[in-house]
């Protein structure tokens, strides 16, 4: 495989109990799902990529959907919650002198995560909107926890007078959209572009804080 799929450490409480064929199936499924999407991927393609017979897949997973869920559902608790959240909470739990430093830390942290785990990120983005059994665990393990923490942080900066008095959920939505848009463009949509990361980070921060109105320059 061309990628370093360390997610295998998180797909099972004891990955040593997985057969080599099962590991190869999971690796192949992640790679092809991330490249083509779940709907456009066939189990025969996964089998060929993994170097196993297609029947081997169905000995471990009843359907292609079961294979998808075996990748994403367990990692929602073991991969997203402990790894993403533990890493992200280092940022969310730190004290920053101002809102710009806080935003910069978030952007850099999420860029590092996306670069390291892009195949899994692509699968989450592609499939979560279409599978309720994936959406609900995501909301439970990630979205709600992050939202609660960010709400407290935003309220703190509002009290300091660094953020305008808009509802926290709106500020979170505007900020998350800007950061996610930049990261997706950087690593997924236009990875081949001549990116100046530090400059793009600073421009993203200024856009979040001031928008595009000329009045923000006064």
What is residue 14's predicted lDDT score, i.e. its pLDDT? 45
**What is d(CA 60, CA 23) in angstroms, rounded to the nearest whole number?**
11
State how far Cα 160 lies from the chain centre.
30
Per-residue model confidence (pLDDT) at position 81: 54
Q: Please check the confidence at residue 9 and state whether its pLDDT lies above 90.
A: no
Q: What is the pLDDT of residues 128-183, one digit of tens each?
A: 777 777 777 677 766 777 888 889 999 999 999 999 999 999 999 999 999 999 99
In CATH, what number does 8-217 get?
A: 1.10.357.10
Q: What is the DSSP letter of 81?
A: I
Q: What is the pLDDT of residue 84?
A: 56
Helix extents (H) in 51-160: 54-60, 64-75, 86-92, 99-116, 118-127, 132-138, 144-159
Long-range contacts of 133-139 (CB under 8 A, 24+ apart): 133/69, 133/73, 134/69, 134/72, 134/73, 134/76, 137/73, 137/76, 137/77, 138/76, 138/80
* Tokens linked to 79: 């991969």
Per-residue confidence at 123, pLDDT binned at 50, 70, 90?
confident
Q: Are 37 and 126 in contact (CB under 8 A)?
A: yes
Predicted confidence at residue 115, as pLDDT, reads 85
Percent of the chain with pLDDT over 70: 81
> Average pLDDT of the chain?
81
Whether residue 13 has pLDDT greater than 60: no
Question: Rounded to an integer, what distance in angstroms lies between the CA atom of residue 54 and that of residue 47?
Answer: 5
Of 126 and 183, more confident: 183
CB-CB contact of 10 with 78 (8 Å): yes
pLDDT band at 80 (very low <50, low <70, confident <90, very high): low
Burial of 27 (0-12, 13-18, 19+ CB in 10 A): buried
CA distances from 33 to 26, 68, 111 (A): 10, 9, 21
pLDDT of 99 over the 70 cut: yes
Read off the pLDDT band of 38 (50, 70, 90). Answer: confident
**Domain ranges in the chain?**
8-217
């Amino acid at each position: 495989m061309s990628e370093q799929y360390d997610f295998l450490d998180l797909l099972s409480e004891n990955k040593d109990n997985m057969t080599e064929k099962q590991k190869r199936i999971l690796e192949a499924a992640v790679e092809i799902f991330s490249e083509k999407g779940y709907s456009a991927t066939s189990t025969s393609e996964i089998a060929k990529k993994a170097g196993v017979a297609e029947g081997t897949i169905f000995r471990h997973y009843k359907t292609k959907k079961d294979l998808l869920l075996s990748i994403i559902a367990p990692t929602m608790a073991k991969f997203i919650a402990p790894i993403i959240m533990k890493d992200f909470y280092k940022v969310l739990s730190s004290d920053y002198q101002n809102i710009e430093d806080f935003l910069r830390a978030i952007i850099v942290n999420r860029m590092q995560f996306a670069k390291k785990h892009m195949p899994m990120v692509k699968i989450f983005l592609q499939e979560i909107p279409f599978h309720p059994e994936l959406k609900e665990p995501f909301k439970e393990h990630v979205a709600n926890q992050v939202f609660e923490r960010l709400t407290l942080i935003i309220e703190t900066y509002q009290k300091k007078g660094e953020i305008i008095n808009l509802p926290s959920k709106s500020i979170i939505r505007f900020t998350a959209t800007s950061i996610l848009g930049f990261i997706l463009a950087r690593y997924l949509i236009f990875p081949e572009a001549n990116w100046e990361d530090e400059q793009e980070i600073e421009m993203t921060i200024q856009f979040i804080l001031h928008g595009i109105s000329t009045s923000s320059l006064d």
